[in-house]
């Protein structure tokens, strides 16, 4: 079926025609694509094209689409009932598994989305400390709860301004925004508001302004500043967790143990499943043990937990991380080299199979840097690649993901297509 026809129908039944804004292609123009099915690294669109997928459901599909073990686990579980509103043995196994794999995760609660996980982490941090303020970093995304829909105002460190209509000034008044990688700004925030800050929340590797790694010492400084001031450090690992290796980024590469961790995307194996966890002394403040309320009809959903467990099992069995990292670095080096040969400013930043081709010749270390990108060049790259059978994120300020199903052949094909786009 034609995508134009589908999109016309979609706009009459769904706001903007999509169930999540970036899918509408507003940043790149043109008609959004519709996907019928996927297998491994490939997706088939509703108009019958086969594309190599570098979105992979924003990283959730780390094993590729329709991985046999995951599909089998979900099908088997579906026959046994998909939700009860009563505890199930599998959710216990899932929580035990996460706690065993992630240092600092002593208790963990399953929720349905990353948004919910973060919302709960923030409420818990406030409940634990009796403080109101939360410090976040400009360009990091933590889901769409009111307190997190905040962007920086002007200046190095600012009281946030709402980045969405419908969010009350009251809801954002307690959110401070600092530039990512700017430890001075964090120090300043604590000098001014130290006894009012409940938590600092950070994506250890920023993934929602494009891929931006933490500067050396940044995470460790956050750990020591928060500890010094009695604030909680929340690592939002909804993208990071189990993406760069078989645990959290904070443990594998960050060298820190946060107070609370949020997980999502990869751990749900393609179903709606996320988690919030951390030190037992904090987590025990959640209801029913403690006074901080949190609940969910579908929390720990058996179908989602089956997909999550099967995904963790397959990742452990297949250990695809080193391969994904190799493919990612060939792709990033290849793109930057080809672009330079054609005199185009493209700096492809990558880490362990996650990458963003930033349309600038400068390294990107924070949102201000990212904003200098030539987004019209990105639009050209996006459509040029799409015309040649390759789907990357429909926005400059997103990550792209290599899955365990991508091959050397896929990367070669990507680079030839990219070369052709650069030439055109």
Ligand X SMILES: *Cc1c(COP(=O)(O)O)cnc(C)c1O
| DSSP notation for 86-115 | S--HHHHHHHHHHHHHSTT-SEEEEESSHH
Non-local CB neighbours of 99 within 8 Å, separated by 6+ positions: 105, 106, 107, 108, 277
Q: Which is nearer to ligand X, 141 or 418 (CB)?
A: 141
Active site residues: 141, 236, 265
Smallest CA-to-CA distance from 219 within 203, 241, 242 is with 203
Q: Which is nearer to ligand X, 336 or 403 (CB)?
A: 403
List the beta bridge partners of residue 340.
Answer: none
Shortest spacing between CB 274 and ligand X, in angstroms:
6
Q: Which is nearer to ligand X, 120 or 158 (CB)?
A: 120
**Using CA of residue 141, residue 143, residue 147, residue 150, what is the dihedral sign?**
positive
Shortest spacing between CB 262 and ligand X, in angstroms:
7
Q: Which is nearer to ligand X, 336 or 349 (CB)?
A: 349
Smallest CA-to-CA distance from 268 within 300, 294, 236 is with 300
Residues of this chain that bind ligand X (CB under 6 A): 58, 113-115, 118, 141-143, 203, 207-208, 236, 238-239, 264, 274
State both tokens at 239: 């993208």
Smallest CA-to-CA distance from 118 within 241, 202, 21 is with 202
Q: Which is nearer to ligand X, 32 or 264 (CB)?
A: 264
Rounded CA-CA distance 125/147 in Å is 13
Smallest CA-to-CA distance from 137 within 200, 198, 191, 69 is with 200
Residue 158 half-sphere exposure toward CB, CA atoms < 13 A? 14
Shortest spacing between CB 104 and ligand X, in angstroms:
17
Shortest spacing between CB 141 and ligand X, in angstroms:
5
Shortest spacing between CB 237 and ligand X, in angstroms:
7
Whose CB is nearest to ligand X?
Answer: 114
Rounded CA-CA distance 370/139 in Å is 9
């Amino acid at each position: 079926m034609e995508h134009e026809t589908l999109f016309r129908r979609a706009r009459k039944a769904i706001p903007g025609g999509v169930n999540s804004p970036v899918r509408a292609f507003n940043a790149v123009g043109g008609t959004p694509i519709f996907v019928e099915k996927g297998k491994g690294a490939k997706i088939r669109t509703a108009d019958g094209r086969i594309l190599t997928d570098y979105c992979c459901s924003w990283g959730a599909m780390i094993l590729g689409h329709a991985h046999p073990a995951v599909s089998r686990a979900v099908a088997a579980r579906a026959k046994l009932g998909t939700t009860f509103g009563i505890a199930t043995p599998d959710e216990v196994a899932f929580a035990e598994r996460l706690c065993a794999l992630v240092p600092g995760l002593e208790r963990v609660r399953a929720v349905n989305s990353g948004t919910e996980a973060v919302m709960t982490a923030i409420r818990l941090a406030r409940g634990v400390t009796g403080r109101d303020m939360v410090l976040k970093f400009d360009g990091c995304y933590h889901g769409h709860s009111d307190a997190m829909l905040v962007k920086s105002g002007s200046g190095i460190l600012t009281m946030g301004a709402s980045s969405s209509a419908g969010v009350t000034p009251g809801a954002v008044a307690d959110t401070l925004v600092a530039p990512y990688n700017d430890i001075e700004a964090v120090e300043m925030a604590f000098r001014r508001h130290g006894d009012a800050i409940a938590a600092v929340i950070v994506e250890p590797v920023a993934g929602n302004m494009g891929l931006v790694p933490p500067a050396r010492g940044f995470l460790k400084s956050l750990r020591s500043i928060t500890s010094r001031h009695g604030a909680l450090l929340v690592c939002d690992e909804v993208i990071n967790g189990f993406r760069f290796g078989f645990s959290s980024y904070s443990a594998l590469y960050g060298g820190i143990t946060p107070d609370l961790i949020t997980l999502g995307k990869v751990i749900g194996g393609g179903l709606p499943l996320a988690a919030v966890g951390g030190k037992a002394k904090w987590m025990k403040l959640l209801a029913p043990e403690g006074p901080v309320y949190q609940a969910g009809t579908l929390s720990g959903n058996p179908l989602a937990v089956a997909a999550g467990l099967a995904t963790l099992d397959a990742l452990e069995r297949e250990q695809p991380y080193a391969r994904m990292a190799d493919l990612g670095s060939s792709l990033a080096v290849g793109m930057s080299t080809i672009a330079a040969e054609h005199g185009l400013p493209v700096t492809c930043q990558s880490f362990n199979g996650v990458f963003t081709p930033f349309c600038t010749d400068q390294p990107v270390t924070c949102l201000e840097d990212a904003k200098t990108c030539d987004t019209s060049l990105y639009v050209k790259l996006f459509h040029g690649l799409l015309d040649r059978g390759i789907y990357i994120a429909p926005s400059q300020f997103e990550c792209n993901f290599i899955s365990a199903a991508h091959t050397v052949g896929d990367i070669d094909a990507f680079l030839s297509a990219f070369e052709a786009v650069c030439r055109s």
